[in-house]
């Protein structure tokens, strides 16, 4: 009863403030659309909390349709769509106010100052950053310590659940710090309900969203993960979690646990996983930075691609034979396709390296903690955990080894394409067609 009273007493303090538009605290008034006013969502009329992690929520659409979060690893089929998810976030170097409203940590974004995402003809502007601990979605089939949800509203349209797109990013422990999270907690986190703090407050702190978007994402149509649980929300969930220092993850977890009610079985602000509708479509999408992304691509191949494009423009005006022109264009097209494959493999290799840091780092930490573990069943269980981490570490190392070989093959193929003359080019085979095609590791 006491936590409920505290929330009811603090909620009016937020109404009418800049935090009244928090996407996470939104509950509909009996109609979903009527809860969105002036581009902002309003506080709930009915009380709710995370006492049973949302199992008993009977507000809005919480018991209807395809709900979020889900375990995307259960999807029977994941479609691959060549259409890229573009992102255009700037590097944020200004101080930001983070608020603890008793249900999540969040940062409200005014206007479209931080950028956003685009898919096809649709664009969304970043409106809010929301933090959950533990994660709501799973990453690789497992819940992770932290999930950051980037809420976007469709540009030029009223803000409703159906015009909302959420980019979800998970974080796992690592020996190495992640500059993004270090900046996001610089200045201290608000660890009391109803308080706020200024983060990312001074140089060299900066939020570089581009680092987090350098991966593939799984898209599906779900809902808000808080009442009114409105459906029609478009989700983009990062395929692999991002490694971050354990101390940073613990800071966020501590601040969020301050919101937990006394009767809560599992402290935190994560809604329980929802049933997976069999007909739900899951799409894997690659990402690409708009206006240049030197971090996500290999500079050497980017320069080579630009050279090919420039040479193509020059050759087009000088070629006398239409047959020669066709050959040149075919050669350029194959080279550009090869360069794109190099970028794809590099992204996969970066993700594999991140997984190695996370899994192998956890293994080393567990091994160093073994002397402090007692005897009997506790020790047996701990040794089983070490065995499992060792298996994951070696598996990821094998993936990295395979991807390095694959990357070498593609680079060699691209080099041949670039230096071959048009007649020779017509005989050149891609790695998929040639005997150089990389094979899976047996280790």
pLDDT, tens digit (0-9, with 9 covering 90-100), for 159-188: 899 999 999 999 999 999 999 999 999 999
Candidate ranges 202-206, 275-279, 344-348; pick with highest mean pLDDT = 202-206
**Which residue did the predictor score with more confidence, 110 or 238?**
238
CATH of the domain at 92: 3.10.200.10
pLDDT of residue 235: 98
Candidate ranges 29-38, 60-69, 333-342, 374-383; pick with highest mean pLDDT = 60-69
432: in domain = no
**Which residue did the predictor score with more confidence, 320 or 161?**
161
**Residue 332 belongs to domain spanning:** 299-425
- The answer to whether residues 243 and 335 belong to one domain is no
Q: What's CA 393's distance to the chain center, in Å?
A: 22
Evaluate if residue 11 carries a pLDDT over 90.
no
285 forms bridges with which residues in the sheet? Answer: 217
Tell me which of 257, 289, 321 is where a domain ends: 289
332-387 pLDDT, tens digit each: 888 888 888 888 888 788 777 877 887 788 788 888 888 887 888 878 878 887 88
356: in domain = yes
- The answer to whether residues 129 and 174 belong to one domain is yes
- The answer to whether residues 238 and 305 belong to one domain is no
- The answer to whether residues 263 and 304 belong to one domain is no
pLDDT of residue 431: 64
**Which residue did the predictor score with more confidence, 98 or 2?**
98
For the residues 53-60, what does the mean pLDDT come to?
91
Tell me which of 258, 289, 320 is where a domain ends: 289
Tell me which of 289, 314, 347 is where a domain ends: 289
- The answer to whether residues 219 and 237 belong to one domain is yes
436: in domain = no
Q: How far is CA 176 from CA 139, 149, 243, 329, 362, in A?
A: 20, 22, 8, 46, 12
In the chain, how many domains are there? Answer: 2
- The answer to whether residues 58 and 115 belong to one domain is yes
439: in domain = no
Q: How confident is the model at residue 414 (pLDDT cuts 50, 70, 90)?
A: confident
- The answer to whether residues 275 and 323 belong to one domain is no
- The answer to whether residues 285 and 406 belong to one domain is no
- The answer to whether residues 353 and 392 belong to one domain is yes
- The answer to whether residues 221 and 184 belong to one domain is yes
- The answer to whether residues 97 and 199 belong to one domain is yes
402: in domain = yes
Instruction: For residues 242 and 148, give the distance between their C-alpha atoms in angstroms, rounded to a whole number.
Output: 11
- The answer to whether residues 304 and 283 belong to one domain is no
Q: Which two tokens stand for residue 42?
A: 């309003």
């Amino acid at each position: 009863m006491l936590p409920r009273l505290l929330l009811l007493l603090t909620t009016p303090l937020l109404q009418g403030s800049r935090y009244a538009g928090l996407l996470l605290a939104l509950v509909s008034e009996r109609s979903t659309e009527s809860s969105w006013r002036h581009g902002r969502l309003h506080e709930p009329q009915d009380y709710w909390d995370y006492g049973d992690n949302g199992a008993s929520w009977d507000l809005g659409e919480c018991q209807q349709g395809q709900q979020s979060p889900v375990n995307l690893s259960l999807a029977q089929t994941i479609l691959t769509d060549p259409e890229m998810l573009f992102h255009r976030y700037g590097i944020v170097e200004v101080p930001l106010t983070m608020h603890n409203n008793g249900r999540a940590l969040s940062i409200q974004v005014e206007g479209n100052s931080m950028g956003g995402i685009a898919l096809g003809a649709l664009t969304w502007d970043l409106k809010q950053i929301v933090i959950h601990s533990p994660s709501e979605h799973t990453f690789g089939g497992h819940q992770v310590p932290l999930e950051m949800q980037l809420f976007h509203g469709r540009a030029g349209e009223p803000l409703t659940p159906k015009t909302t797109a959420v980019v979800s990013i998970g974080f796992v422990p690592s020996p190495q710090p992640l500059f993004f999270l270090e900046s996001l907690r610089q200045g201290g986190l608000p660890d009391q309900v109803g308080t706020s703090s200024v983060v990312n407050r001074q140089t060299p702190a900066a939020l570089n969203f581009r680092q987090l978007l350098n991966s593939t994402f799984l898209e599906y149509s779900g809902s808000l993960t808080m009442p009114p649980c409105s459906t029609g929300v478009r989700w983009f969930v990062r395929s692999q979690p991002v490694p971050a220092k354990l101390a940073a993850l613990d800071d966020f977890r501590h601040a969020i646990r301050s919101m937990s009610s006394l009767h809560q079985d599992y402290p935190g602000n994560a809604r329980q996983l929802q049933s997976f509708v069999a007909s739900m479509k899951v799409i894997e999408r690659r990402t690409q930075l708009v206006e240049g992304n030197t971090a996500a691509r290999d500079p050497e191949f980017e320069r080579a691609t630009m050279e090919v494009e420039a040479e193509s423009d020059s050759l087009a005006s000088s070629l006398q034979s239409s047959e020669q022109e066709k050959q040149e264009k075919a050669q350029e097209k194959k080279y550009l396709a090869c360069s794109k494959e190099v970028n794809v493999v590099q992204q996969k290799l970066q993700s594999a390296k991140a997984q190695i840091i996370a899994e192998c780092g956890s293994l080393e930490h567990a091994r160093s903690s073994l002397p402090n573990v007692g005897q009997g069943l506790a020790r047996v269980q701990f040794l089983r955990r070490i065995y499992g981490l060792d298996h994951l570490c070696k598996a990821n190392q094998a993936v990295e080894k395979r991807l390095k070989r694959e990357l070498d093959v593609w680079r060699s193929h691209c080099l041949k394409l670039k230096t071959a003359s048009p007649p020779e080019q017509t005989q050149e085979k891609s790695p998929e067609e040639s005997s150089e095609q990389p094979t899976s590791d047996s280790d």
